[in-house]
Amino acid sequence: MAKKLYVGSLSYSTVDDTLKEEFSKAGTVETATVIMDKMSGRSKGFGFVEMSSEEEAQKAIEMFNGKELDGRKIVVNEARPQEERPQGGGFNRGGHGGGFGGGRNRY
């Protein structure tokens, strides 16, 4: 069963292929993804690598956690499940909406 790893403190120049190539030294890489900012198109400085087995994932953590990749010491550990996000916009302004008064006449 595949095991997903979090890879942090990546150089902004690191790309998916670099992650895949490097982590393949520890075993079979199912996927390797650097997370990109939707607005700027630049790397967010972290990514995920999915190894084909638990053993290979452990080996990758031991091999790469604290090691240098593209000039930066990276952090590698087991990825945690994504937390549920609230549905909807993304802006929670709190309080009551609208800026105008209620239904009374203003004469």
Would you say 57 and 6 are in contact if contact means Cβ atoms under 8 Å apart?
Answer: no
- Domain membership of residue 17 (yes or no) is yes
Q: Where in the sequence is the domain holding 35, given as residue range(s)?
A: 3-78
Residue 99 lies in a domain: no
Which has more confidence, 4 or 86? Answer: 4
Q: Is residue 89 part of a domain?
A: no
H-type alpha helices, 7-53: 16-23
- Comparing 83 with 64, the larger pLDDT belongs to 64
Q: Check the CA dihedral 53-58-63-69 and report its sign.
A: positive
Q: Is the pLDDT of residue 73 over 90?
A: yes
Q: Are 32 and 23 in contact (CB under 8 A)?
A: yes
Please check the confidence at residue 47 and state whether its pLDDT lies above 90. Answer: yes
Range 6-27 average pLDDT: 98
Q: What is the distance between the alpha carbons of residues 97 and 73, in angstroms, rounded to a whole number? A: 46
**Largest distance between two CA atoms of the chain:** 78
CATH of the domain at 38: 3.30.70.330
Q: How far apart are CA 62 and CA 67, in angstroms?
A: 10
How far, in Å, CA of 49 to CA of 59, rounded?
A: 13
What's the rounded Cα separation, in Å, for the pair 3 and 53? 6
Least confident interval from 45-49, 72-76, 79-83: 79-83
Q: What is the mean pLDDT of residues 20-45?
A: 97
Enclosing H/E stretch for 69: strand 68-69
Number of domains in the chain: 1
Q: What mean pLDDT is predicted for residues 50-67?
A: 98
* Model pLDDT, residue 2: 86
